[in-house]
Chains A and B, each alone.
Chain A
Amino acid sequence: MTAVVPTTTLAGSSKGGVRAFKNSLATVLVTAAFGIALIPLVWLLWTVVSKGLKTLTQSGWWTSSQRNITFRKPGGGVWHAILGTAEQVLLCTLISVPIALLVGIYLIEYGGGRLAKLTSFMVDILTGIPSIVAALFIYAVFITTFHGQRAGIYVSLALVMLMVPVIVRTTEEMLKLVPNELREASYALGVPKWKTIVKIVVPTAFSGIVTGIMLGIARVAGETAPLLILVGYSPDTNSNLLSGFQGSLPGMIYAQVPQLGNTRFHYAADRMWGTALTLIIIVMGLNLVARLVARRSKVSN
């Protein structure tokens, strides 16, 4: 009765070689996929920065408008466009954030019934609405039916329809991540439900909710269809959301397009790249600010 001696050893078995090969193959594939995904991003950033940077350093770029500037003339700035976009997006955010937060809180903290399911379904549908459809809807309601004049405020309203679902979805996800134990701990201290939500649940999810709001802003800041349909583009500074054409960053980019093929004057093309870079910088800057805010209130676990 001799014991059976195992024939495989730790080193040099052929099975181990196959496994090592599979491992290397998977590593190569994953790394390659990462590299491929990175190519368009780096390419895009490089193109915009290399073509737009010189425009950004021109005098007056950040402070003046495109008033009396034609495609035959250099100079002028982007201030009117920043102002218009900032106003429209700010108003949109002010309207969207409270609605979206309350809807998200309702769905997670109070929902469960039929109304919640219906609301959730509606939010899903809203998520998939193309921006031009949202713009047409606002046009039909406020301009065709109520005979309004095209103005920045209608752009804000159309953007609300795009921003609300983004914030609702992230708010929901973040509230779901708050452990139920914290809610129970609060209830057990004799804290009413609404106060538990305001003082415990939302603060715990705060950094995630801020990220959601930033995603929403990034989503709408570059939208062009609502601008074309609802406000048009003005090269002049117009800070009035309630009337008149208004400059905006996507609008300014679009306004340069007709002269892009012009071989004698390159000013329009330069301005377009400059505006694109400006838009990217602003959205990225907002993102950084949001990250800082989120980090300051970060939950230490």
Chain B
Amino acid sequence: MAKRIEAKNLNIYYSKFLAVSEVNFTIAPRSVTAFIGPSGCGKSTVLRTINRMHEVIAGAHVQGDVLLDGESIYGSAVDPVDVRRTIGMVFQRPNPFPTMSIYDNVVAGLKLQSGRIKKAELDDTVEKSLRGANLWEEVKDRLGKPGAGLSGGQQQRLCIARAIAVEPQVLLMDEPCSALDPISTLAIEDLIQSLKEKYTIVIVTHNMQQAARVSERTAFFNLAGVGRPGQLVEIDDTQKIFSNPSEQRTEDYISGRFG
């Protein structure tokens, strides 16, 4: 199921503005990788290029390549819609579809991708995905209620259930806990630990303790200088990044002597 991700000489643009330059990394399957770095350094931008969500913004484009198990996702014959089916995404703010019930939210991806599916199959997917997102016990009696009626933490887990319902191979998370309280955050972090057995996970976070808690590998991004594009400073085992990083800039950031 899970796949390896490689970025090769990735240059990411908004129109003519070079936002992030020369990013290279390899992410192993069934692992959790955290992207950390100051605001505006391009971590979310890099994350969004991994499932071609970057180009949804007008004028945004990419040079270089991203490979999924050796296969380019930017090839001319590749449909971005197919890429996004393989690589799911969870956003910063919980965004369940407001017109849909909890049930419909979970199967939204399946239904909208492929049309008619048997009811029994949908029921199975709903239970499996909600269990996978640790939400089943809390909502099993009110699947027909609107998804927007849940608490913030529950909504975010609903969004995770929605993302894993389409059985992606990679799960991208863009600051999934930044709008949540500590208890909901803990629930999501526990969830990430169980999800990594099946998926390759990349998580952007501003919370360095979180990066240290959930990830095996950490990538530190920073601006190359004022007015210069963002860059990947280093990527290494999380333990090494937080105890003995190879770059001075990483150590400055980790230890709070940034800027």
A188, A191, A203: the one contacting B89 at CB < 8 Å is A188
Give B contacts to A, CB under 8 Å. Answer: 51, 53, 56, 58, 81-86, 88-89, 91, 93, 95, 97-99, 108-109, 112-113, 146, 148-149, 159, 162-163, 166
Q: Which residues of A contact B149 (CB under 8 A)?
A: 300
Task: A187-B53, A188-B84, A299-B98 are known; give 10 further A-B pairs, CB within 8 A.
Answer: A185-B95, A185-B97, A188-B89, A189-B88, A189-B113, A189-B162, A190-B84, A190-B113, A191-B81, A192-B81
Interface residues of A in 163-221 (CB under 8 A from B): 179, 181-192, 195-196, 199-200, 203-204, 206
Q: Do A182 and B98 touch (CB < 8 A)?
A: yes
In the bound complex, CA of A301 to CA of B53 (Å): 26
Most buried by A among B51, B81, B93: B81
Q: Do B51 and A188 touch (CB < 8 A)?
A: yes
Q: Which residues of A contact B51 (CB under 8 A)?
A: 188
List 17 A-B residue pairs with CB atoms under 8 Å apart, sorted by A's residue number. A112-B58, A179-B95, A184-B53, A184-B56, A184-B91, A185-B91, A185-B95, A186-B112, A187-B56, A188-B84, A189-B84, A189-B108, A189-B163, A190-B85, A192-B81, A206-B99, A299-B98
User: What's the nearest-Cβ distance from chain A to residue B185, in Å?
Assistant: 20
In the bound complex, CA of A218 to CA of B82 (Å): 45
Give A contacts to B, CB under 8 Å. Answer: 112, 179, 181-192, 195-196, 199-200, 203-204, 206, 297, 299-301
B82, B86, B99, B108: the one contacting A299 at CB < 8 Å is B99
Q: Do A199 and B53 touch (CB < 8 A)?
A: no
Contact A188 to B98, CB < 8 A, known contacts A181-B91, A181-B93, A300-B146:
no
Look across to chain B and name the residue whose beta carbon is closest to the beta carbon of A202. Answer: B99
User: What's the nearest-Cβ distance from chain B to residue A10, in Å?
Assistant: 37
Q: Which residues of A contact B88 (CB under 8 A)?
A: 188-189
Q: Which residues of B contact A181 (CB under 8 A)?
A: 91, 93, 95
Q: Which residues of A contact B89 (CB under 8 A)?
A: 188
In the bound complex, CA of A301 to CA of B89 (Å): 22
Q: Do B109 and A190 touch (CB < 8 A)?
A: yes
Q: Do A187 and B84 touch (CB < 8 A)?
A: yes
In the bound complex, CA of A181 to CA of B53 (Å): 12
User: What's the nearest-Cβ distance from chain B to residue A121, in Å?
Assistant: 20
Dominant secondary structure of chain B at its interface with chain A: helix
In the bound complex, CA of A266 to CA of B149 (Å): 60
Look across to chain A and name the residue whose beta carbon is closest to the beta carbon of B112. Answer: A191
Most buried by A among B85, B95, B166: B95
User: What's the nearest-Cβ distance from chain B to residue A53, in Å?
Assistant: 42
Look across to chain B and name the residue whose beta carbon is closest to the beta carbon of A207. Answer: B99
Q: Do B98 and A301 touch (CB < 8 A)?
A: yes
B58, B93, B163: the one contacting A188 at CB < 8 Å is B163
In the bound complex, CA of A240 to CA of B255 (Å): 83
Look across to chain A and name the residue whose beta carbon is closest to the beta carbon of B85. Answer: A190
A187, A195, A196, A204: the one contacting B99 at CB < 8 Å is A204
Q: Which residues of A contact B82 (CB under 8 A)?
A: 190
Q: Which residues of A contact B112 (CB under 8 A)?
A: 186, 189, 191, 195-196, 199-200
Contact A191 to B98, CB < 8 A, known contacts A112-B58, A181-B91:
no
In the bound complex, CA of A183 to CA of B112 (Å): 13
Contact A190 to B166, CB < 8 A, known contacts A200-B97, A297-B99, A300-B149:
yes
In the bound complex, CA of A133 to CA of B2 (Å): 65
Q: Which residues of B contact A204 (CB under 8 A)?
A: 97-99
Q: Which residues of B contact A195 (CB under 8 A)?
A: 112
The 7 lowest CB-CB distance pairs between A and B, nearest first, are A190-B85, A189-B109, A188-B89, A181-B95, A190-B84, A191-B112, A299-B98
